[in-house]
Structure 1
């Protein structure tokens, strides 16, 4: 089957165009020159640009229960490092029976790894996918095993299932992929996600995101523009990762300086995972030696307090992870950071929530996959608390008539003010934004009038009453603005003597942003979602409809939505007077990179966002992604599935960073 790159529809192998959306399944446009390029091509014939999907491959002996560890440094005389057991000439290797994945000439094997990495008996190389529209082998494999997993889950033994290499080998998943699969959910983006994994001719192969061109941590560490506060972030992140990696015996991933990278959001990441030597004990003193190497290699001179911290760590004065992180928090406090502010937050790092994040039970420092067991664990460790500031904000809005309506009753409004301040210490921005989406009702020349009037009224209202340049309007001010919009529409209904379903009205969602502070309000069933890397997709509003009203009264959700009027609105702007309009108003603080989505129900119906956010929304958190194009792709996709209604989406991308203004060296 060929998976359409536009709408994800699965097409027969012989199709040249997607039978659902019409997209080409044979050619795409070159990202450099725009020329047509075969999906199966590595380079553009017109300009020579690399156009294939590139990945980082780790190749090891498939029979090993774990990729063998390197010897300790003291066991290998200088100049006599143990070489890889896999032949270095890989350009002619056949990686799979279909010859789908091919060795890439983009960069040589192991280019991003240090000389120490040669002690690891596996090959690392860049590859490209010559059949990118085919499902990954791993996805097909797991789909074939659905019945097995269902039986295990129904038996109630899934949480006790040993994640042994034998178990996964039987269904075709190589042992080398297991640590990534185990860690990637709780430690993303620090641990690269798995694109594909398979076994072939005695080799286990896993494909990861190619991070070879990312910034090295040691290079960023030596940058004198990087603040002490940012260094504290990285130190704290290494401690958190150390704890997680120790549970499966992969602490050496943090002891290879060339394996430590920094992504665009300054988050500490690893390029790949390295196993620990036999009998290796993951002590904090070992980790402290890596920290010292970072300082030594960077040539950076820091007086107090980090050298003192490193000295204490190297002497073994910190016995627990909690002690290290508490000391880092104390350093932050000494730098005049107010830790009591409500908008202070945790250093961005992988979250572990009780319901969602699988980690490993009974830490096993040897990393024996035979003892790897999934279970849930709450993270109750102390966290370094730091204030954040907005580093950038971008927005995009688009509305589409859909495939079945004759006119568009949706309307949206965007007003953004960005003030930039720059001095020798860096650049800061001050942002104020008003974002509104309305879904009108009442028919042609009624619903669209109501939605447009609501947006216009709110824009005019907040121009007048949002007077504080530093603070969001309070709840009463926001409520009065919404009631003003309701009154405008209600007065027209009264003047025109409209009644019943003939009365025009509109739903409303509105977000007001002041730097990292947000106020949201809504009436009706239009929605606001928050998308972050840690928490995924979160619906911030609860629909004002009969079904939700019944659930709040204690009715079982299935029974509540069995009612014929379950989706009937209980609130809207315009049909009734102010006494019947009770908007929900909530205040939020942004403490990590965040994507806000305001949308009409044409976009959110049928759980479209819940089922597809990882494909269409999560990638847009990255500043490298084009937010306008991303929104258009999402609405095009919604048209394939929810084209029965008008579709409107409004995206706001907020990027944050630690507020280092008071701590620059």
Structure 2
């Protein structure tokens, strides 16, 4: 089946257009010039920009079988590889690092250069191979050696162009099917799919756990005595070693990456893939400077790959038959310092010595030591920030359908972070807010003739800079209301609530921390009073009384407060998944909280009737739910009216329409428009409003210095 790139609808393979939204399934727009190009094209015919979908293929020969395999493709292939083309070779996992890349510090180090061997084609057998598979879906961009040149167990890495990128692979179809099965299976069981190579199974086991450090697997199969897996292509990612070479890299950053490697060690240990952390060329940084792995390596007996000759180059000597231990990780860290010629600093030097001597033997012990080192490197708290000093303020009020409000608060960053290096994984180091992006959009929907939704965004940044200190603070007030009461009713109530709350917090939020529970609660009651008084003044009664729901989020640096009344919701999305933060104030939920079974509670005819709303009753009867929490990892918050949240829309489509928006490079404007389009497709019976707030954090490393 073909998966629509826009609405993710499943289409028959013969479809040229999505039968749900009409999107072309044979052409796509060039990201550079906008021209329509075939989805199978490698580059745009108009501007020449590369526009293909590329995977990293890892091909290995079955270690058990020594017989000749059949050719990968039919003999009559139309496009032979050119004579001077090359292939990328990755040595067998039984070969040590020294055999693969040598000593990186002893050669010219070019950013993004390949850390693997390059071999020129000489065998005439290679010329006949242009596709990796007999279906001619995966076109080889690098050539593959002949079967005779492959040794059992040796791995070869080649890039392939996906000529049919919208077609779901058999592997993913089987994997998704097992995930959606009524009888839930464990990750280990899900990998037991016929024909899948053994070395693909660790990827599948980690696939559903959303570890961004591990490349996603796209497909896998066996062909004769060859095994093939296709992975997310990370071959052009920056090396972690390059960061060690950078003078701007601080000691605290180094400790942070060691903590991340320590976490990965725990993840990979049950799968016997800790060797992945022992290959320097495998340690990469993605576009947001997150530590990631290019691929997984199965463990093999430790060799003394870190032993060095007198000239400093790594030596390949006979492997020792001892298991991979935590001491090996310490040797990798030592190698990072030695190959970058960077000086080790005191506390970390002692940690490496303790690892070498065996005084530290567990990841838990390492983590405790690294936490202590990070604490010592932490700067003193900066001076209190004056609200009026160097402040920038933006205020946005929107109610018209199809209107977008967008503001990006990009805090001043050190030079090493100019390329959006704000996506560092968050483990145990104190976090600071790095960027705060937001966008709001409201739409009338497909069935209503007017929009009763309203949202407001009020943000402020404060900065202070001293010769030896720098601090940044951000404040954001995000309010979404879904009105009720018809023309000159619901839309009046929702707007009045937003404006009242913004005015209230301009007076009662004039300090550098979140307002307390009492202040927030009083603000909600003031909004209720404003609408209630207007109802009284106009002598409105019964169903004629106007009202509105409310969901409101207050952000102060990494601290968040949430208040809500009614069924407008707040969701929180991290790389772990999506969570509904608020609980609807409606009869069905009230009954569930009283212990009634959900199916019984929502069988009531009044199950969706609101138990609370702003405006119809006086403020003494309003009891908003208020929560406080801290942002400890990159988070996307979604404020949603019920036109967006109905029918579990976000819970169903978060992986396709929300999770990509966590990336710094993702366009929130485009994302919120696609979200509204999705709601119009599946709901559309009501007004639709979304406010997205992307909070990016990083370890507090501003005062760290290179030792």
> TM-score by structure 2 length?
0.79
After TM superposition, give the deviation of residue 93 of structure 1 in Å: 4.3
For residues 71-150 of structure 1, what are the structure 2 equivalents within 5 Å? 71=95, 89=126, 92-104=129-141, 121-142=154-175
- Is the CA contact (8 Å cut-off) linking 1:39 and 1:130 kept in structure 2? yes
Q: 1:63 to 1:627 in 2, by over 3 A?
A: farther
TM-superposed CA distance for 1:481, in Å, is 1.1
Matches within 5 A, 1:283-322: 283-322=325-364
Give the equivalent residue in structure 2 for 1:376: none
- CA distance in structure 2 between the partners assigned to 1:305 and 1:322 by the alignment: 17
Alpha-carbon offset, residue 206 of structure 1: 2.0
What's the counterpart of residue 408 of structure 1?
451
Residue 537 of structure 2 is matched in structure 1 by: 495
Which of 599, 602, 611 is the aligned partner of 2:643?
602
Asked if 2 retains the 8 angstrom alpha-carbon contact of 1:329 and 1:384, the reply is no
SS in 2 for 1:494: helix
**SS at 1:614 equivalent:** helix
Aligned to 1:255: 278
Aligned to 1:31: 31
- State the 1:73 CA deviation: 7.2
Q: Displacement, 1:520?
A: 0.7
Whole-Å separation in 1 of the counterparts to 2:290 and 2:96? 29
User: After superposition, what is the alpha-carbon deviation per residue over 1:614-652, rounded to whole angstroms, capped at 9, x for unaligned?
Assistant: 111111111011111111111111111011111110001
What is the CA-CA distance between 1:82 and the residue it aligns to? 12
CA contact (8 A) 1:250 1:276 kept: yes
1:349-368 paired onto structure 2 within 5 Å: none
Q: CA deviation at 1:186?
A: 4.1
Secondary structure at 1:47 match in 2: coil
The count of residues paired between Structure 1 and Structure 2 equals: 598
Whether the 8 Å CA contact 1:217–1:268 is kept in 2: the answer is yes
User: For the Cα contact (< 8 Å) 1:284–1:316, is it kept in 2?
Assistant: no
How far apart are the structure 2 equivalents of 1:659 and 1:643?
A: 44
Distance change in 2, residues 1:421/1:139 (3 Å):
same
Counterpart selection for 1:246 from 269, 272, 276: 269
Q: Which moved more, 1:89-98 or 1:557-566?
A: 89-98
In structure 2, distance between residues paired with 1:216 and 1:311: 25
**In structure 2, how many angstroms separate the alpha carbons of the residues matched to 1:454 and 1:91?**
70
* 1:310-355 deviation per Cα after TM superposition (whole angstroms, max 9, x unaligned): 122122221222211111122223335689xxxxxxxxxxxxxxxx
Tell me how far apart the structure 2 counterparts of residues 506 and 74 of structure 1 sit (CA, whole Å): 67
Asked if 2 retains the 8 angstrom alpha-carbon contact of 1:70 and 1:119, the reply is: no
Q: Which whole-Å CA distance do the structure 1 matches of 2:555 and 2:691 have between them?
A: 14
Which residue in 2 is equivalent to 1:225? 248
Deviation digits for residues 332-391 of structure 1 (CA, Å, limit 9, x no counterpart): 23335689xxxxxxxxxxxxxxxxxxxxxxxxxxxxxxxxxxxxxxxxxxx973211111
The answer to whether the 8 A contact 2:444-2:686 is kept is: yes
Q: In structure 1, how many angstroms separate the alpha carbons of the residues matched to 2:176 and 2:611?
A: 42
Give the 5 Å matches for 1:485-564: 485-533=527-575, 535-564=576-605
Q: Measure the CA separation in 2 of the matches of 1:187 and 1:628.
A: 25
Contact in 1 for aligned 2:31/2:51 (Cα 8 Å):
yes
CA distance in 1, matches of 2:42, 2:18: 22
Alpha-carbon distance change, 426 to 297 in structure 1, aligned in 2, over 3 angstroms: farther
Deviation at 1:89, TM superposition (A): 4.9
* 1:22 to 2:55 alignment: no
**Structure 2: where are the runs of 5+ without partners?**
66-90, 104-115, 146-150, 302-320, 382-425
Whether the 8 Å CA contact 2:218–2:232 is kept in 1: the answer is yes
Separation in 1, partners of 2:483, 2:567: 11
Pick closer, same or farther for the CA change 1:314–1:184 going to 2, 3 Å.
Answer: farther
**What is the CA–CA distance in structure 2 between the aligned matches of 1:464 and 1:229, rounded to whole Å?**
39
Cα displacement (A) at 1:494: 1.2
Alignment counterpart, residue 326 of structure 1, candidates 368, 381, 389? 368
Residue 431 of structure 1, aligned match among 456, 460, 474? 474
Given the alignment, which residue of 466, 484, 487 partners 2:509?
A: 466
- Which position in structure 2 is the counterpart of 1:343? none
Render the CA deviation track for 1:160-194: whole Å, top value 9, x for unaligned.
Answer: 97678xx43xx232222101111344471111122
Residues 1:444 and 2:498 are matched in the alignment: no
Native 8 Å contact 1:461 1:481 kept in 2: yes
Larger radius of gyration: 2
Out of 267, 289, 310, the position equivalent to 1:266 is 289
- In the alignment, the residues of structure 2 paired with residue 16 and residue 257 of structure 1 have an alpha-carbon distance, to the nearest angstrom, of 45
TM-superposed deviation, 1:143? 6.0
Residues 154-165 of structure 1: pairs in structure 2 closer than 5 A: 158-159=185-186
8 Å Cα contact 2:188-2:205 kept in structure 1 = no
Gaps of 5+ in 1: 111-117, 340-382
Say if 1:18 and 1:384 are closer, same or farther in 2 by CA, change over 3 A: closer
- Equivalent residue, structure 2, for 1:386: 429
1:85-136 deviation line (CA, Å, top 9, x unaligned) = x99958934322321122236xx889xxxxxxx9971111222211122112
Query: Is 2:657–2:675's contact at 8 Å kept on the other side of the alignment?
Result: yes
SS in 1 for 2:44: coil
Q: Distance in 1 between matches of 2:628 and 2:98?
A: 56
Which residue among 653, 658, 663 is the counterpart of 1:612? 653
Change (3 A) 1:658 1:495: same
Q: Distance in 1 between matches of 2:660 and 2:471?
A: 25
